[in-house]
Every structure is written in structure tokens, then in C-alpha cells.
Amino acid sequence: MNKSQLIKTLAERLSISMEEATIIVSTFFDSIKEALKNGKRVEIRGFGSFKIKEYQGYTGRNPSTGELVKVKPKKLPFFRVGKGLREYLNQK
């Protein structure tokens, strides 16, 4: 499912316009992104949690040329599945 499919599903289930559903979905994702950008952890009970992991810079090697390359420090989002979602996915 992609973002536009999510918007369409929300609009159909709640009997609202596509524009309203777009605003709701965009606000939801923007709020999560902003919280993560500010270093906060986002937890959605029964679904999972998001947090940012910070990685230090290091010296790597370009595999095709063998040249040494400096890799900058970076932040990456990390998702941890919640108990409710894990149990739902593993039902028989």
C-alpha cells in the first residue's frame, strides 16, 4: 500500500473527500517526521515505535575503484514492531 492508496481507503471508509483524507494523512506523517527530526521517539501502541539511530562517520572504500572514501555521520529512522501488530501478523 502506498500513500495514495491509504488516502483513498481513508476517504472511502470515513465517507470524506479525497482532499480531507489527504490533509489527515499528510498531517499524520508530517507530525511523525517532525517529532523524529527533533530527536523524539514516536510510539503507536499496538503497532510499533519509531526512533532515530545516529551513526558516526567512518572511512570506507569504494568497491569498484578501491579508493578510500570518508562517509559522513548520519541519522537513520528505525522501526520496532509492536506486540499487537506482531501477534496479528502471526495469527493462523
Find where cell 578510500 sits. 68
Is it the case that residue 81 has pLDDT exceeding 90? yes
CA 53 from centroid of its chain's CA atoms? 13
pTM above 0.85, yes or no: no
**Which domains, and CATH codes, for the chain?**
3-89 (4.10.520.10)
Cell of residue 62, nine digits: 569504494
Contact call for residues 54 and 75 (beta carbons, < 8 A) = yes
Extended strands (E) in 1-92: 42-44, 48-55, 58-61, 68-71, 74-81
Tens of pLDDT, residue by residue over 34-59, are 999 999 999 999 999 999 999 999 99
Contact call for residues 21 and 13 (beta carbons, < 8 A) = no
Is it the case that residue 87 has pLDDT exceeding 90? yes
Tens of pLDDT, residue by residue over 3-23, are 999 999 999 999 999 999 999
Cell of residue 11, nine digits: 476517504
